[in-house]
């Protein structure tokens, strides 16, 4: 089949072991990002299979209507960037392994790195010594401090393990269902949402972005946080109410934020008010960007392509398309 892979910015996939799974297909890898609908549609005119690099490109009805040869979209995890009803209307099957029970350790590790960077103010310390000024301020020890984890999921539980190894006190907040699971597991749940934000030295959010979780972190949540606290987000920017984090940093509650995700990506405007904020530590959405994580994720994605080519698709999100085709 003619397989097109979008947004492999560093041309990484061809060097991974999993890429051999596409040996029987005609593969085109696009290493840049295109927003223009007409240019994107022209590139993908011959594509029978579209492989997505997480949520880097939105698959809209307008795009799908311009791709007459497309039969399959293969990706991994959640799919808020894909218009599933439009896929169904156009006869395009969406396959996405939801990897139940398997956390992204790469994302958990980056979360911990950002917590460490924020508490020890590593970016400023590094910049100071590189500039010949030696130390720049005083950091904070993790042991004995409180880590608030919002969202009782796989990645958050991995982060909790790191925190416990460092001697932090972990407290949880989540949906009603999530808090019930946490309590059933013997985890410590905050007595209230207000106490969760007010009493935590670090708050890290780990929630999937869905219509009912969009903007769940509000300005009032940030207003509860301590001036010396840090807010960490390696999940999705849309979980934060628009503009609320910038306003919170300007108000000094929390004192710092460390984030890997932005409302608009890739964000390359160095003058963006949030990106340029002196109390923001930022990374360019690299939570899942490791060779190990890529090989794990794209092995699943390429297996979906082969299963479809063999006439036995797996991980179907809109199986009615396949039923109709049969």
Query: Model confidence over 89-131: pLDDT tens digits?
Result: 999 999 999 876 677 899 999 999 999 999 999 999 999 999 9
- What distance in Å separates the CA atoms of residue 83 and residue 22, rounded to the nearest whole number? 26
Which of 285, 315, 320, 326 is labelled catalytic?
285
Task: Report the pLDDT value the prediction gives residue 99, as an integer from 0 to 100.
Answer: 74
Q: Is 43 a catalytic residue?
A: no
Encoded tokens for 7: 């947004």
Task: Tell whether omega for the bond before 172 is within 30 degrees of 0, i.e. cis.
Answer: no
Mean pLDDT of 163-180: 97
Mean pLDDT of 196-209: 97
Task: Report the pLDDT value the prediction gives residue 323, as an integer from 0 to 100.
Answer: 85
Q: Is 133 a catalytic residue?
A: no
Which of 157, 206, 236, 253 is labelled catalytic?
236
Task: Report the pLDDT value the prediction gives residue 29, as an integer from 0 to 100.
Answer: 98
Task: Report the pLDDT value the prediction gives residue 100, as an integer from 0 to 100.
Answer: 62
Tell which residue, 84, 64, 53, has the closest CA to residue 211. 84
Cα dihedral value 165, 167, 168, 171, nearest 10: 70
Distance of CA 242 to the CA centre of its chain: 17
Which of 46, 265, 291, 320 is labelled catalytic?
265
Q: Is 285 a catalytic residue?
A: yes
DSSP annotation string for 72-140: EEEEES--TTB-HHHHHHTT-EEEEE--TT---HHHHHHHHHHHHHHHTTHHHHHHHHHTT----S---
- What distance in Å separates the CA atoms of residue 176 and residue 104, rounded to the nearest whole number? 24
């Amino acid at each position: 089949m003619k397989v097109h892979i979008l947004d492999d910015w560093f041309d990484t996939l061809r060097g991974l072991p999993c890429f051999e799974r596409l040996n029987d297909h005609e593969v085109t890898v696009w290493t840049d990002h295109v927003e223009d609908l007409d240019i994107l549609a022209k590139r993908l005119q011959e594509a029978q299979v579209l492989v997505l690099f997480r949520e880097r490109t939105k698959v809209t009805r307008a795009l799908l209507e311009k791709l007459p040869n497309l039969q399959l979209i293969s990706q991994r995890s959640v799919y808020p960037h894909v218009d599933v009803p439009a896929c169904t209307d156009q006869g395009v099957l969406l396959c996405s392994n939801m990897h139940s029970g398997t956390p992204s350790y790469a994302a958990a590790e980056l979360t911990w790195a950002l917590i460490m960077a924020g508490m020890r103010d590593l970016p400023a310390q590094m910049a100071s010594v590189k500039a010949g000024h030696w130390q720049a301020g005083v950091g904070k020890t993790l042991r004995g401090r409180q880590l608030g984890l919002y969202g009782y999921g796989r990645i958050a539980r991995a982060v909790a393990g790191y925190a416990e190894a460092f001697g932090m006190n972990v407290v949880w907040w989540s949906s009603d269902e999530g808090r019930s699971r946490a309590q059933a597991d013997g985890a410590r749940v905050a007595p209230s949402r207000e106490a969760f934000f007010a009493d935590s030295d670090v708050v890290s959010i780990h929630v999937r972005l869905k219509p009912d979780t969009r903007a769940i972190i509000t300005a009032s949540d940030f207003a509860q946080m301590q001036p010396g606290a840090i807010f960490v987000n390696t999940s999705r920017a849309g979980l934060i109410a628009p503009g609320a984090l910038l306003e919170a940093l300007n108000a000094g509650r929390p004192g710092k934020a460390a984030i890997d995700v932005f409302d608009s990506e890739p964000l390359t405007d160095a003058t963006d008010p949030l990106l340029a904020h002196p109390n923001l530590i930022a990374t360019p959405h690299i939570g899942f960007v490791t060779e190990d994580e890529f090989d794990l994720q794209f092995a699943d994605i390429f297996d979906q392509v082969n299963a479809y080519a063999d006439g036995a698709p797996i991980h179907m999100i809109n199986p009615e398309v396949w039923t109709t085709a049969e």
